Every structure is written in structure tokens, then in C-alpha cells.
Structure 1
Amino acid sequence: MPARARRSDARDNHALLLAAARAVFAEDGPDAPLDRIARRAGIGNATMYRHFPSRRELVIAVYAGEVASLTSGARLDAADPGAELFAWLASFAEHVRDKRDLALSLTTPAGGHETLFAQWHSTMNETAAALVDRAKAAGAVTPDTDPLDLLLLATGVALANAPARTPHLLALVRRAVSTP
């Protein structure tokens, strides 16, 4: 028997909870009170717990949505593949800087987060690889440009926690791999 589709009010509540959780976590971090998220969504705590029985499940859903947004934002049909690659790397650096605490809140001494992290990293690596391949094909970056190297450099830029310097630092990276 096929799974029943969610009722429209349940879908709406789910979406409201995710939007509220994104906003509250961005404001107060991943340890923000869950009842504040329910209030922001305009629903009761019991409804929230029916959708997300634990904080961990809510954080996973929010972070998975952030990763999906980041990777789906890559324009693999952009007219200027080099510009798109570095625009996406800027978004990636912002993601690392702004969402790091959310992701790290999922790590526990008991583990269990490794599979999730591997899936998310794989998705981001695949997106970066596709963008680098297009930039290489367009002659925008050198043939030896490695997607993982760019992700590591962008991560370093993000962890420097100097948002005002991020565009300059990424421009330095771009100059290092751009073709003459």
C-alpha cells in the first residue's frame, strides 16, 4: 500500500516549522529554545514534536535544507562559468561561516553523524566539481584546478571569520587559478 500523502495543513505546519527554525537558529544558535521555534511558527509544541520528535531531527532537517539550497543555487548553465564558480564559492564560504555551528551541533561523542556529513559533503563536492569542470571547459581556470582545493581554500576563508575580507580573499584565490 503506498504511503499516504500528508494533509495540506500538516505540510504547511512542517514548512512553517522549518522556516521558523532557520530564523531562530540563525538568531540564537542551534541551542535556541524549541518552544520559541513553535511560537514563531504559530503552532503548538505538541504539533512541533509530532513533526520533529527531537531537536536533532529538527536541526538535521534545517541543515539538510541549507545544503540543498546551497547546491541547487549553483547555475550549471551560466553564461560565464568562471564567474559562476566563484560566485558559488562565495556562497559556500558564507554557508560554512554562518551554518558551521548548526552542523557541529549534530556531532556527538557517540557518533552517528558521519553518514549525514558524508552525504552533505558529497553533494557539495559534486557541485563544486561540476562548476570547476565547466570553468575548465570555458578556459576560465587552469587545467590543474582541483575542486577540493577550492573548497578547502574557501573553508579557510570562511573560518577566518572576516566577512568584510571574504571577497578580497576569494579574489586572490580566483587569480591563483585563472588562466592568463
Structure 2
Amino acid sequence: MRADAARNREKVLAAARELFADQGYDVPLDEIAGRAGVGPGTVYRHFPTKQALFQAVTEERVTTMIATASEPADDPGAALFAFLERMADEAANKRDMSDAITVPTELRKALQAALGTLLTNAQEAGAVRTDITVVDLIALMKGLMQSMQEGANPALLLEIVLNGLQSRRKP
């Protein structure tokens, strides 16, 4: 790639990171191009679809989250709850997180698989109720993330989700 093309690609990525974080997936590509100081054709030359651009922007952040989910944990329940708290923190700071867990990509599948492993481990350890599935958990987190954008209290909602996940078994 020529040096000027590489610079333009980085400008597009930087603008997209900022705008996706502020506005979520619905930001128009023309707005991203304008923020990057390039034409729409330049955006499409590097990223043929909006989904390809979104994936490039979220991939590094979500890949890092997935890696932390894969680390061995002494307390599987605490590991799941810490991961959910990190997701909520990311969503509070960047609107694109709720889109990143639902836009159909291999990255989303990897995130769901990592979350599924954390959930299963926590369930097997007796820390989390056994009647919840990873699909249920993702729906809860997506709802929590969406409510943040609507002005709800994220700390309170996360507390409710985490309390609701706890095992009902008697010690």
C-alpha cells in the first residue's frame, strides 16, 4: 500500500472509531469520510461495506476482551461478573459496544463463545444459576447497554443483572 493510501486508511479508522463510539453503528459513512477529511470513495476503497469498517474498528477492542475471558480463573463466578462489568464499562464509554455484540461477524461469534465458556464455568462452579443460557445473557447485556444510551443508571442495572445471575442454591 502506498504511503498516502495507508495514511488515508488510518484517518478513516480514527474517524470511524470516534464516530462509532459516539453514535453507534448508525453513523453515516459520509460523516466518517468528512471527519477523516477524505471522500466517500476513499472509505469504500479501503472498506467495501460499512460492516467491514465497523468490524475493523471494533476488532482490536473486542479481541482484547475475548483474550481476558480466556484467562484461567480461580473463581469462575467472579471471572464472569468481572467480564460483564467490563462490557458494561465499555458500553458506557463507547456506544458501539452494544452493536459489536449483535452485528453478525466472526468476532461477535468469538465474543459469544467466550462469554458462553465463562457462563458455563460459573454455572459448573455453582456461582451462577443453571437456567440461563448465553443467548439470555447476551440479551440482558444488550438491553443494559441500550438502556445506558437512554439515560438509565448503568451501575444499578448492572447490579440487578449480576444479582439475578447468582445461583439460587442454598449453601
TM bucket normalised to smaller: 0.5 to 0.7
Q: Name the CA shift for 1:134/1:52 in 2 (closer, same or farther; >3 Å).
A: same
Q: Name the CA shift for 1:26/1:10 in 2 (closer, same or farther; >3 Å).
A: same
1:153 aligns with 2:140: yes
- Whether the 8 Å CA contact 1:34–1:55 is kept in 2: the answer is no
Match of 2:96 in 1: 99
Identity across matched positions, percent = 31
Q: Distance in 1 between matches of 2:70 and 2:61?
A: 16
Q: Distance in 1 between matches of 2:124 and 2:3?
A: 45
Q: Distance in 2 between matches of 1:91 and 1:17?
A: 27
Q: Which runs of 5+ in 2 are unaligned?
A: none
How many correspondences in the alignment? 160
Read off the aligned partner of 2:96 and give its amino acid letter.
Answer: K
Q: Name the CA shift for 1:76/1:138 in 2 (closer, same or farther; >3 Å).
A: farther
1:68 aligns with 2:63: yes
Q: Which runs of 5+ in 1 are unaligned?
A: 1-5, 104-113
Match of 1:52 in 2: 47
Q: Name the CA shift for 1:175/1:143 in 2 (closer, same or farther; >3 Å).
A: closer
Q: What RMSD in Å do the two structures reach over aligned CA positions?
A: 3.8
The aligned runs of 1:16-31 (5 Å cut-off) are 16-29=11-24, 30-31=27-28
Match of 1:37 in 2: 35
Match of 1:117 in 2: 104
TM-score, structure 2 normalization: 0.64
Superposed CA deviations along residues 106-138 of structure 1, whole A, max 9, x for unmatched, are xxxxxxxx9x61644432321112112322344
1:172 aligns with 2:169: no
Q: Name the CA shift for 1:142/1:53 in 2 (closer, same or farther; >3 Å).
A: closer
Q: Name the CA shift for 1:69/1:154 in 2 (closer, same or farther; >3 Å).
A: same
TM-score, structure 1 normalization: 0.62
Provide runs of 4+ in structure 1 moved above 6 Å. Answer: none
1:38, distance to aligned residue in structure 2 (A): 1.6
